[in-house]
Amino acid sequence: MALFFDAPWFDEKLSERGLSRAVMAAVGGLGEAELAEVFKDQRELSAGQVAAFAELLGVTPAEVAHRAGVSTPVPASSPDARIAELERRVAVLEAELKRLRG
């Protein structure tokens, strides 16, 4: 059970984007009644739902997890994203090494 769900914050973010709770429910793979349970602290969000809601609302998964309650999991970055980041870092290091070698 979430320790605190900041329903006004979620409603404000939805309103800023012209979206409804029904849209949020659909994005999270929930029925409207199930989302209502989330808003009443009677149901936890999954890591996937945290990620989906973050994308929908234009905020970070950490922000959604924080606003949904401290026990809500924050999704890890995808393996593809981690590999891409590592490849980018290796390319930067290789370019620097090449520069240093002249």
User: What's the confidence (pLDDT) of residue 97?
Assistant: 81
In a domain, 93, yes or no: no
In a domain, 96, yes or no: no
pLDDT of residue 2 exceeding 50, the answer is no
Number of domains in the chain: 1
User: What's the confidence (pLDDT) of residue 100?
Assistant: 83
Residue-wise pLDDT tens digits, 20-75 = 999 999 999 999 999 999 999 899 898 889 989 999 999 998 899 889 986 655 66
What pTM did the predictor assign?
Answer: 0.68
In a domain, 88, yes or no: no
- Expressed as residue numbers, the domain containing 14 is 7-75
In a domain, 100, yes or no: no
Q: Which residues are CB-contacts of 38 (< 8 A; sequence separation ≥ 6)?
A: 2, 5, 30, 44, 45, 68
The pairs formed by 20-28 with CB atoms below 8 angstroms and a separation of 24 or more are 23/56, 24/53, 24/56, 27/52, 27/53, 27/56, 28/52, 28/53
3-state secondary structure at position 71: coil
In a domain, 81, yes or no: no
In a domain, 35, yes or no: yes
In a domain, 23, yes or no: yes
User: What's the confidence (pLDDT) of residue 68?
Assistant: 92
Residue-wise pLDDT tens digits, 28-40 = 999 999 999 999 9
CATH of the domain at 28: 1.10.260.40
In a domain, 56, yes or no: yes
User: What's the confidence (pLDDT) of residue 95?
Assistant: 80
